[in-house]
A and B are shown apart, each in its own frame.
Chain A
């Protein structure tokens, strides 16, 4: 565990939608090179939290601090500007475009003539997929022609390329088979070396225990607790998720 300052700090986050409270009193710190898992039942508020951290929804109250500086965000573009990248559950890939165009979607580099710098996009894509060991036929491959695991790999590679602070993985293996899940988990592990914070949302406790350093449990919008993965077990986490802890 890295003892340096947290890369992301959430303090007393609260989010109301009209009269409904979706999130209350949520506080969490993520350190560079750390994987924190966010678990909870359906409707516990995980996706609301993803939207707050990625900048889509500003919190009703509370503060978000990135590397010690408080930030306010009101859309995903601002989140990205602060170095936060999200790998969405649906991956947000344009299926009929190439891998390299997706890698740079919305942030395409231009050459001196103001035209797309394909050479650079292709080179950087190839370099990155090699580093992350995402096995795709080529940077020119069309997303549509890739397998589910390969697509997930491309989406993670894209987030990795752009994230300077934090990567949010939203259910990264929900739709994948066994072999592909293992591959994606290996990629997620390797991200730790990049010294960014990683927040993973997952339904699979096996995966959570395999990957994470700490586990944060949410139930009905409330933060139940944060545990170090090494010092807890599945029974405790299940109890926290279901609310049967106190018996």
Chain B
């Protein structure tokens, strides 16, 4: 973490890493140290296991970036899990007939298109995003089921599976590249561009944003489209990693993504958030899954402990925010 800074940058870093956002880093560190100590003989600290955690959380991290934008603008996107399945299936089916490039376009295009539909309904028909995406979540869960009649579709194109899943570049697995690039770009756009500032202003005070000349509907459309596109990318990553697509992909991810984003210091009501925090939140969720399994707990005990830890993390970060 960048705490030691000099001169002119001190101010902006102080606001970037304020107390609320430290909660997630401290929590992450505490859980890491706990597992490192408890599981020192169980392979937790091996490079293989730690890199597995990053690989496994890559799709969740990518979706979390999108949700940070959406929640910062004061909206919510419940449809991301369904988008993952539709995009993965669209990509898998298209790759089989038309090759890799068309498959990527189909997968990302499906995500962006669903995001645009969500966004248009929220921005221009002026429906609440909670209800719109609740409906599209169900709608596209149905679409993903009917697309291939519940069948799973194999992805045999090795360039694709290497690029999005199992390959590596310079000795670093492709999923880690995707995570790093998405976080870097997401953070830059969120923190350092006019668009990012307008997203925050919209979520903070839509009227103020509006009288300041920010097109609030355009921002709402944009964040939901970004979220859809990133969920589409997550779908490609799943398809590449699993070398197959199925309607169940992403189905259980929504709650993990929301938890990662909130634990990472993004406010549910908008106006404040952190991309890096969401990454750490997502890694924390992955690390929890991994560590609790390695501790040899039964499945039900894992769920209880995981729930309690998430509850604690959310309580600490939210309590601090509403002081």
- Measured CB to CB, the residues of A under 8 A from B are 76-77, 80, 86, 88, 90-98, 101, 105-108, 110, 114-116, 118-119, 122, 138-140, 142
Assess whether B204 is interfacial by the CB under 8 Å rule: yes
A105 to B210, CA, bound (A): 10
8 nearest interchain CB pairs?
A: A106-B212, A94-B204, A92-B208, A96-B271, A106-B213, A105-B212, A115-B192, A77-B213
Q: How far is the CB of B194 from chain A (nearest CB, A)?
A: 5
Residues of B within 8 A of A118 (CB): 12
Cβ-defined contact, B204 with A110, below 8 A? no
A sample of 22 cross-chain residue pairs with beta-carbon separation below 8 angstroms, ordered by A number, consists of A77-B213, A86-B211, A92-B207, A92-B208, A92-B211, A94-B205, A95-B204, A95-B205, A96-B271, A96-B272, A97-B201, A97-B271, A106-B212, A106-B214, A107-B212, A107-B213, A108-B194, A114-B193, A116-B196, A122-B11, A140-B12, A140-B14
Residues of A within 8 A of B209 (CB): 94, 105-106
Query: Quick one: CB contact mask for B191-204 with A, threshold 8 Å, 1 for yes?
Result: 01110111011001
Total cross-chain contacts (CB, 8 A) = 75
Given A105-B209, A106-B198, residue A140 in contact with residue B193 (CB < 8 A): no
A15 to B231, CA, bound (A): 49
Partner among B11, B12, B197, B204 whose Cβ is within 8 Å of the Cβ of A108? B197
Assess whether B8 is interfacial by the CB under 8 Å rule: yes
Assess whether B15 is interfacial by the CB under 8 Å rule: yes
Given A94-B204, A105-B208, residue A110 in contact with residue B194 (CB < 8 A): yes
Cβ-defined contact, B271 with A95, below 8 A? yes
- Measured CB to CB, the residues of B under 8 A from A are 8, 11-12, 14-15, 188, 192-194, 196-198, 200-201, 204-205, 207-209, 211-214, 267, 271-272
Given A80-B213, A101-B197, A116-B194, 8 additional A-B pairs, CB 8 A: A76-B213, A92-B205, A93-B205, A94-B205, A96-B204, A106-B201, A107-B212, A140-B12
Cβ-defined contact, A93 with B197, below 8 A? no
Q: How far is the CB of A226 from chain B (nearest CB, A)?
A: 28
A114 to B212, CA, bound (A): 20
Q: Which residue of B lies closest to A111 (CB)?
A: B192
A152 to B188, CA, bound (A): 31
Cβ-defined contact, A140 with B204, below 8 A? no
Q: How far is the CB of A83 from chain B (nearest CB, A)?
A: 14
A188 to B12, CA, bound (A): 30
Cβ-defined contact, B15 with A116, below 8 A? no
Partner among B15, B201, B208, B214 whose Cβ is within 8 Å of the Cβ of A140? B15
Given A88-B211, A105-B214, residue A116 in contact with residue B14 (CB < 8 A): no
